[in-house]
Chain A
């Protein structure tokens, strides 16, 4: 049973398009939520944290719905440089030894000229 599930992708979108990624998580005790970006054959890099109130960073908007255990990422005005795999990430638990990050499989985005 998957703990963090994402849209299967791949998403192929033209430049300038708006694209949305969705993610669900199974552990209701999860504490923190993030989107990481991973370029081909590179390490994951933190894109943004996700808060219950929603948060925005330029063209990127993240939303969290704890009741539905659902996380989303919206990218507006897509750029070629946005092409990457987007990983939905959940940090679980409290107390010693419970600070692992659980990653989804990722959704690949290709922005086409």
Chain B
């Protein structure tokens, strides 16, 4: 096990609602990245947080936002949910900014109806 935990494991929301997903990083890891994985696709980078600041962002609209807390845990917030937001959301932690060894949590499966 990687020591990265995510909650909830599954979630069903309605179009237009807002959702918050949570991630606890592996002990000692100060960088958290979030990815979206649609069915049949590889994970797509959403953004990365290092020491509580956003440190890089993929091609996702502003309604995807995040936070990192002093204990390095993190949240992903998605506003105005759309049907296409249905996916597996993965968080990955790593030891330091730029470390390539990213360890993934089990993911949160979000279904938007």
Cα distance, A46 to B104, chains bound together (Å): 9
A96 with B100: CB separation less than 8 A: no
The answer for the CA separation of A43 and B23 in the assembled complex, in Å, is 14
Closest residue to B58 on the A side, CB-wise? A100
Kindly list chain B residues whose C-beta atoms are within 8 Å of the C-beta of A96.
Answer: 55-56, 97
Within 8 A of A (CB), among B89-105: 90, 92, 97-105
From known contacts A44-B90, A96-B55, infer whether A103 and B104 are also in contact, taking CB-CB under 8 Å.
no
User: Beta-carbon contacts of A29-70 to B below 8 Å, as 1s and 0s?
Assistant: 001101000000011111001000000000000000000000
CA A101 to CA B56, docked complex, whole Å: 11
Q: Which of A34, A42, A97, A102 contacts B100 (CB 8 A)?
A: A34
Interface residues of B (CB under 8 A from A): 2, 31, 33, 35, 40-45, 48, 55-58, 90, 92, 97-107
Which residues of A have CB within 8 Å of B45? Answer: 100-102
Contact B100 A43 (CB under 8 A): no
Using CB atoms, name the residue of chain B closest to A93. B56
Interface set of A (CB-CB < 8 Å, partner B):
4, 31-32, 34, 42-46, 49, 87, 91, 96-106
Using A87-B42, A97-B57, A100-B33 as known contacts, list a sample of 11 further A-B pairs with CB atoms less than 8 Å apart, ordered by residue number in A: A43-B2, A43-B104, A46-B101, A87-B43, A99-B99, A99-B100, A100-B58, A101-B33, A101-B92, A103-B43, A105-B41
Chain A residues whose CB sits within 8 angstroms of the CB of B104 once the complex forms: 43-45
- Once A and B bind, how many residue pairs between them come within 8 Å at the CB atom? 62
Q: Report whether B100 and A49 are in contact in the complex, using a CB–CB cutoff of 8 Å.
A: yes
B100 contacts which chain A residues (CB < 8 A)?
31-32, 34, 49, 91, 99, 101
User: CB distance B97 to A43 under 8 Å?
Assistant: no
The complex places the Cα of A42 from the Cα of B42 at a distance, in Å, of: 12
CA of A91 to CA of B97, assembled, Å: 13
In the complex formed, the residue of A with least CB distance to B92 is A101
Chain A neighbourhood of B97, CB < 8 A: 96, 99
Q: Taking the nearest CB of chain B, how far is it from the CB of A10, in angstroms? A: 12
* Complex Cα–Cα for A97 and B56 (A): 4
What chain A residues lie within 8 Å of B33 (beta carbons)?
99-101
Chain B residues in 8 Å Cβ range of A106? 42
